[in-house]
Amino acid sequence: MKKTKRKIFETSMKLFSEKGYEATSIEEITATVGVAKGTLYYHFSSKEEIFNFLVEEGMKLLKNSIEIKTSKCDTTIEKLKAIVLIQLKGIKKYENVLTIVMSQVWGNEPRNVLCKEKVIEYIKVIQNIVQEGFQKGDIKLCDAEVLACEIFSLTCSTLIYRRKTEEFDIPKLQQEYEETLLNKLEIRKD
């Protein structure tokens, strides 16, 4: 990505996250970046296109992270633990993108529909891993879609937790989530 486009991308992400989509104007984005409107429109045709690019790229990064990390795991529990860790690290690294996506999931405007679609695609990746775990006999049977949504909900609840506390200890949170959710799924083969 070109330097100017990246700056527009990062600035828009920060403003959308802090102020919301509606309250952020093209004028504010260009003023913060320090470019003319024409320069912004050279890279993006509209505020909606910037938003769509942010959501598409942000969710693709998370999905790709899951696919890469889980391909190196042997068991379903290891894969689910890797997903939890990716989500926790993602909150720290991509907090603005996740805030934007989660703030726009509700409603029927095109950007709301896009966010819902991307979240559902992400959850589907987790759901497929859960279903594979059932087939391998790695984890207890349950509703795969519900479990995948629960695992994704860790991102949502942790995002709220992150906003209310200065302490964000990833290993501690990972351990907590593993003990309260994932360890109960494992089928012990003793």
Q: Is 171 exposed, middle or buried (0-12, 13-18, 19+ CB in 10 A)?
A: exposed
CA–chain centroid gap for 49, Å, is 19
Architecture of domain 51-184: Orthogonal Bundle (1.10)
- Alpha helix ranges (H) inside 35-166: 37-43, 47-70, 76-93, 95-103, 110-136, 144-164
Q: What is the CA radius of gyration of the chain?
A: 19
Cα–Cα–Cα angle for 140, 146, 152, nearest 5°? 105
**Residue 188: predicted pLDDT:** 64
**Residue 93: predicted pLDDT:** 84
pLDDT tens digits, one per residue of 139-156: 888 899 999 999 999 888
HSE-CB for 126 with a 13 A CA cutoff: 27
Per-residue pLDDT at 90 exceeds 90: no
Mean pLDDT (the chain, rounded): 90
Domain boundaries, the chain: 1-45, 51-184
Q: Is 55 exposed, middle or buried (0-12, 13-18, 19+ CB in 10 A)?
A: buried
pLDDT tens digits, one per residue of 12-70: 999 999 999 999 999 999 999 999 999 999 999 999 999 999 999 989 988 999 999 99
Q: How far is CA 106 from CA 69, 117, 151, in A?
A: 30, 11, 19
Cα 13 to Cα 56: distance, rounded to the nearest angstrom: 12
Decide: helix, strand or coil at residue 121: helix
CA–chain centroid gap for 185, Å, is 23
Same CATH fold, 51-184 and 1-45? no
This prediction has a pTM of 0.87
Per-residue pLDDT at 1 exceeds 70: no
- The reply to whether CATH 3.30.200.20 applies to domain 1-45 is no
